[in-house]
Amino acid sequence: MEFTLTEKTIHYYDTKPNYVTLKILEAGQQNQSVYQGYLEIDFNTTDNILVCQTGKFSELSVQKARLLGGTISTWLKKHGINNICLPNEDEDIFSITNHFYPFFEGFFIGGYSFDKYKQTDRKNWSIAVHLPKKYADKNEGLINIQKYALAMDIARTLGNEPANVINPVSLAETCRQLGDQYGFTVKIMDEIELTNIGAGGVLSVGQGSVNKSRLIVLEHNGLQDNENPIVLVGKAITFDTGGYSLKSVEGIQGMKYDKLGGITVIGLMLAAALLNLPQRIVGIIAAAENMVSDFAYRPDDIIKTLSGKTVEIITTDAEGRLVLADGLTYAQNNYSPKYLIDFATLTGGIVTALGNVRAGLFSNNDDLAQKLFTAGENSAEKLWRMPLDDEYFDFIKGDFADLKNSGGRKGHPIMGGIFLKQFIQNNTPWAHIDIAGTSKNDKADGLNPIGANGFGIRLMLEFIKNL
């Protein structure tokens, strides 16, 4: 698979080169901010100066600085400008706000677009940033930002690819390619191996598709030893029709995005390899395509998961928890996770509860939950903890099997969480992050255009950094 990646370079000058100069000014009286879309950009072509007027610097939060940087690089791309120069001034936005890195984090994450299938759009944008020499000591930090921005570009493209390009088989092959290129190990389990180990969750969900299910295991070992790894499990339903519990005309639109939990895991593994993080990290992607055919699984079917637990299928549209169950079991059977964290676009209910501002956080471990919550606040990929009381279990107790895969409409996102909890062994510190509302943009903001946004990658980098 081909990725069109934007070349981004950083240069330092003694004498200011004659490129477009970026001046960021305080608008003073304006009480709106870039956060609400307020940013006046004026390009004076005679003087070659790009003037950006934003809200008061004193009100510029870290996240607003990110959005400001992203909005500017998006603008530069749109206007085909390939070089930008920061003036050498004593008093500028960075000396006043100290938000140098957040600004450039936004700058290098912004300017992304998924236009590889369009014939007309500008495709080969590259950007060179020219900074006064006094910033040369920040080079390492900027290079690190560029590394995870690259991981996010690849993740967003993978996430945006439609299901006629990305299915469980091609996703696995793409992981192989990325692992070879960026340096993490990749193990792919096909339907035969999955049958041999008894992974009936991920197999049943995908059995209606010609593109058979895959369990993809990625490993980064930054320490070259056998410490207990951080294990991430991602739901990757490359397309979710709902199966025989078929989605509606409207509900089925956008179901290529039902793989974004898995994509978050791939993006984090890419970033871990590029940054050479000094941790052992394992990523497990449970990939299946949920289709309708004479081979597809049905409501009332009773399936046996990798854990041995049986599940009665109430609705074939509650398939994410079935593939995740096998991913979580595989993780615990083959590794002793220090932390076990799953990412999934699991429920519409979490979108009803939290909208697209915060993702749902479920955990059996207060310390892990607190660490994740804090990482969310710091990265602005924010979480909100949801309950997992034992009483919720009654709703998913099976009539004819150990469990059933739906507990009805009440507390819908919690039913997903309590279901997954049944697959956690020996109090392994575990968290489930439901990203159904946060993993794609319905409209463009400073960092992302419409589509997959890589939610969770920066969250996990922040989490890991503080361990």
Cβ proximity to Zn ion, 317 vs 381, nearer residue = 317
d(C-alpha 303, C-alpha 214), whole Å: 17
Cβ proximity to Zn ion, 240 vs 342, nearer residue = 240
Q: Give the residue nearest to Zn ion (CB).
A: 317
Output the smallest distance, CB 256 to Zn ion, in A. Answer: 13
Output the smallest distance, CB 261 to Zn ion, in A. Answer: 12
**Is the CA virtual torsion 126, 131, 133, 139 positive or negative?**
negative
Cβ proximity to Zn ion, 319 vs 462, nearer residue = 319
What is the 3-class SS of 87-135, one letter each residue?
A: CCCCCCHHHHHCCHHHHHHHHHHCCCCCCCCCCCCCCCCEEEEEEEHHH
Cβ proximity to Zn ion, 297 vs 373, nearer residue = 297
Q: Among residues 321, 371, 382, 458, which one is catalytic?
A: 321
CA-CA-CA-CA dihedral for 363, 368, 371, 377, to nearest 10: -10
d(C-alpha 84, C-alpha 335), whole Å: 47
Residue 321 is a catalytic residue: yes
Output the smallest distance, CB 240 to Zn ion, in A. Answer: 4
Q: Which residues bind Zn ion (CB under 5 A)?
A: 240, 317, 319
Output the smallest distance, CB 23 to Zn ion, in A. Answer: 49
Helix, coil or strand: residue 265: helix
Helix (H) or strand (E) holding 215, with range, is: strand 214-221
Output the smallest distance, CB 391 to Zn ion, in A. Answer: 25
Q: Among residues 23, 56, 247, 385, which one is catalytic?
A: 247
Cβ proximity to Zn ion, 307 vs 406, nearer residue = 406
End-to-end CA distance of the chain: 34
Locus of tokens 């507390």: 411
Angle at the Cα of 92 from the Cα atoms of 88 and 94, rounded to 5 degrees: 105
User: What φ, ψ does residue 386 adopt, rounded to 5°?
Assistant: -115, 160
Q: Would you name the residues annotated as active-site residues?
A: 247, 321
